[in-house]
Amino acid sequence: MQLARRTIEYFMEHPTWPTEWQQHVALMFYADYMYTGNTELIEKYYEQLKHKTLFELSNEAGFDHFGKSNSRIHV
The boundaries of the domain holding residue 27 are 2-73
Is the pLDDT at 72 greater than 50? The verdict is no
* pLDDT at 74 (0 to 100): 43
Query: Taking the C-alpha atoms of 42, 48, 50 and 51 in order, what is their torsion angle to the nearest 10 degrees?
Result: -160
Contacts of 59 (CB under 8 A, 6+ apart): 65, 72
What is the DSSP-derived secondary structure letter of residue 65?
E
Q: What is the mean pLDDT of the chain?
A: 80
* pLDDT at 19 (0 to 100): 74
Q: Based on the structure, what is the number of domains in the chain?
A: 1
Q: What is the pLDDT of residues 36-67, one digit of tens each?
A: 999 999 999 999 888 887 777 777 766 666 65
pTM, 2 dp: 0.69
φ, ψ of residue 73 to 5 degrees: the values are -110, 125
Q: What is the pLDDT of residues 5-19, one digit of tens each?
A: 999 999 889 887 777
